Structure formats: structure tokens, C-alpha cells
Chains A and B, each alone.
Chain A
Amino acid sequence: MTAERRYRQDQSHTTVACVLEDITLLYHRPSGQTHMVISPVPEILSALEDASPATASEVHARLARHYDLGSSVEAIAQIEAHLADLAALGLVRAA
């Protein structure tokens, strides 16, 4: 069984967020890049913020406290995919 990757936020205060009506904008200071993100990405980032590093399952568990996520197997796989995208952009880090 493969070990699940653990992720953490990319230091604190490296990302500036602006919530618009339909999307969220993120400005990532270290890279100078701007990203437009939609659910569930802002919620995933929120689940990692100022919290201990987490696997996709653990992020799922944190989100499930506030949101209805449907089938957990699918949701965890999707969260993992989003975390991998975010890690590739430097918005989260493998812990």
C-alpha cells in the first residue's frame, strides 16, 4: 500500500487572497504569480491553513465537518488531485 502524501501550507502569509463574487484570486508572493481558483480549492487551502500537515484523507475529514462532500472515495481522490496541482504551483508543499 502506498503511503499517502502529506501536504502543508506554503509558510504563512505567502499567499494573498481576494474573494470575488464568482471566484477567488490568489497572489503567491514567492512566485509573483496570480491564480484564479474556484471551489473546492479555496476550501482545501483553508483546511491546511495554520494547521498540521495533512493527507488527502485528513483534509477530507476536516472539510467534511462543514460540507457535504458526497462519496468519500471519490472526494478523497479529487482532493488528492487538487493538492498535487497546488503543490506543482508552490501554493502548498509536500510535508
Chain B
Amino acid sequence: MLAKLYAAYPQPADGIADFSVRLEPAGLLRRWVRPSIFITGDHGLAEAAPMSLAHGLLAAEMGMNLQMALGWRRHLLLHASSVEKDGRALVMTGESGSGKSTLAAQLGERGWRLMGDEFALLDLVTGEVFPFPRLVSLKNGAIDVLAGEACPERMGPLLAATAKGDIRHLVPQADAVARMGEGAQPALLLFPRFGHEADVRAVGQGETFMRLTQASTNYVALGEAGFGALTRFVRTVPGRAIDFPSGDEAIAMVERLWDELA
């Protein structure tokens, strides 16, 4: 199932994936009583809850997220979605439920190149944002929104009632997958908040910096290189907090701010 959804993705150049993700049966007895999958890999999470086999796809996704969060050293890793237009990147960061992933996916269906719904990679030397376009993970309400906009072949099966709610995966458009190695200079940073009356607020550089350190899983581990990369980002990229009641409003706000600031 995983292979089918990732069919369009290139194989790693030397045949060796950057990380290994192992899905192991959780203990001998559980294998017979009820199939379970325990997330492990190079970096383990001791208390991860076992999941039924039907949700193996989701478990693999979570395993991959964890690998990224704990192991990546070549870039500053930001918990953010990103899309690209005209060679410049829009980066959106916020907590789960902020709308950053859904908004990125929608923009990806409206002429923007989707670079990632979960992670953005910030190049430590050039300051470019690089894609990490794994499958988009749509939760609950976002599923219907995107199912209405993307063609069915790019949608994965419905995983009902997981620990994160209902989930369906969406394959990014062919162009986005083909250009996975292509970065872009960040030009706008947004802090989205879905489900509020429409509003736009400037965000001070100090607050932006602090929020980005909170959104980064490897800022501290990168030391001075991380400091340099993040300060460069904060000094060169304008930041806005946007509140919106619907995806359509959000998209309109994004396009306006992009014209104004990017």
C-alpha cells in the first residue's frame, strides 16, 4: 500500500534510504493475539502506542516523522508547511489544527508547487527552503475539502478513527514530486489559525524567532549553525499571523499578502 502511493517518487540515489523505519510486531504474544505494529527505527519512542495492522500506513508515517524530527543534521528542520511560486517560498508554521497542512495542500492544487505539508528544510548555508514532499496527511474535515479538489488516483485509503482521527493521504502533484530537489528562497512566513474571524497581524522579529525555535526539532542540536540560519531567516522574511474562518478566505489572504510582501 505504501509502495503504491509512493510509486511516483524517485528511489534514493545509492539505494540506501536516509533513515530506516522498522515496523515490528510488538512482542511474540501480541503477534498471535492481535497484530500490532510498534514504531521503532534508529530512534525509538519508548511509549509509542501499538496500533492495529490496518493502520500500518499511518504508523509508517509517524515513524517517518519521528525519524525526521530526531535525526536530520544537514538542515534546520522546521515543523512547517511550504509552497513555492516564482522561485520563492511561502512557509507556514503552527500547531496541529492551525490549518498549515490543509492550506498548503490547497495551494498545491491552485498553481503553487507544494514543497511539504509537515516539514520544511532550511539550508544552513544558503538559507533556501527545501522540499520534503512526502504524502500529505489529511485529517478529518480536510479530507473532504481536498477530495473535492484533487483527482481520486492521488488519494489514499480512508484510515478511520486512528489516534489522530480520520486520515487520508494525498499524493502531491507530479510537478511537485519531480522537483523535490529544488529549493527556493523564503519570502513570506505565515502563522495561520483556522476557525477564527479573518484578521492579519504583523509579528515582531523577536516573537518570530522564539516561535520558530519552538517549531524546530533540531535548532539546539545544530548549535551556532542553527543560530545563523534562523537569525538570517528572521531578518529577511516578513512574518504575519493570519486568522481565517474558511479555506477560501485563507487562500485569498495568502494571495494578497504574497503580492504585497513577497
Q: A20-B235, A21-B204, A32-B220 are in contact. Are A27 and B227 (CB under 8 A)?
A: yes
Interface size on B, residues (CB 8 A): 14
Q: Complex: how many Å from CA A29 to CA B226?
A: 12
Whole-angstrom distance between the alpha carbons of A18 and B224 in the complex?
A: 12
B205 to A29, Cβ gap below 8 A?
Answer: no
Residues of A within 8 A of B210 (CB): 36
Closest to B221 in A: A32
A63 on the interface (CB 8 Å rule)? no
When the two chains form their complex, are residues B234 and A32 in contact, meaning their CB atoms are under 8 A apart? no
Q: How far is the CA of A29 from the CA of B224 in the complex (A)?
A: 7
- Which residues of B, 208-226, contact A by the 8 Å Cβ criterion? 209-210, 213, 219-220, 223-224
List of A residues within 8 angstroms of B234 by Cβ = 20
In the complex, 7 of the A-B residue pairs with CB atoms within 8 angstroms, ordered by the A residue number, are A16-B224, A21-B205, A22-B205, A23-B205, A34-B213, A34-B227, A36-B210
Could you say which residues of chain B place their CB within 8 Å of the CB of A22?
204-206
**Would A23 and B206 count as touching, CB distance under 8 A?**
yes
**Closest CB of chain A to B241's CB: distance in Å?**
15
Tell whether A25 is near chain B: CB-to-CB under 8 Å: yes
B177 to A: closest C-beta gap in Å: 36
> Which 6 residue pairs across A and B have the least CB separation, nearest first?
A23-B206, A20-B205, A27-B227, A18-B231, A22-B206, A22-B204
Q: A residues near B, CB below 8 A?
A: 16, 18, 20-23, 25, 27, 29, 32, 34, 36
Q: Which residue of A lies closest to B220 (CB)?
A: A32
Q: How far is the CB of A64 from chain B (nearest CB, A)?
A: 27
Are B231 and A25 neighbours in the complex by a CB distance under 8 Å?
yes
Q: Write the nearest CB–CB distance from A33 to chain B, whole angstroms.
A: 8
Q: Which residues of B contact A34 (CB under 8 A)?
A: 213, 219-220, 227
| Residues of A with C-beta under 8 A to B209 | 20, 23, 25, 36
Q: Report if A27-B224 is in contact (Cβ < 8 Å); known contacts: A20-B234, A20-B235, A36-B209.
A: yes
> Nearest chain B CB to A30's CB is how many angstroms away?
11
**Interface core residue of B227, B234, B235 (most chain A CB under 10 Å):** B227
Q: In the complex, given contacts A20-B209, A21-B205, A36-B210, what are 16 additional A-B residue pairs having Cβ atoms less than 8 angstroms apart?
A: A16-B224, A16-B227, A18-B227, A18-B235, A20-B231, A22-B205, A22-B206, A23-B206, A23-B209, A27-B224, A29-B224, A32-B223, A34-B213, A34-B219, A34-B227, A36-B209
Q: Would you give the shortest CB distance from B218 to chain A, in whole angstroms? A: 13
Residue of B nearest to A18 (CB): B231
Contacts of B206 in A (CB 8 A): 20-23, 36
Contact partners of A23 in chain B: CB under 8 A: 205-206, 209
Nearest chain A CB to B221 CB, angstrom units: 9
Kindly provide the distance from the CB of B250 to the nearest chain A CB, expressed in whole angstroms. 27
How far does the alpha carbon of A71 sit from the alpha carbon of B213 in the complex, in Å? 38
Give bound CA distance, A18 to B205, whole Å.
11
- Chain A residues positioned under 8 Å from B231 (CB to CB): 18, 20, 25
In the assembly, what is the distance between CA of A25 and CA of B235, in Å? 12
A41 vs chain B, min Cβ distance (A): 13
A29 and B228 CA atoms in complex are apart in Å by: 12
- Complex Cα distance, B209 from A11, in Å, reads 27
**Residue interface mask B234-250, A partner, CB < 8 A = 1:** 11000000000000000
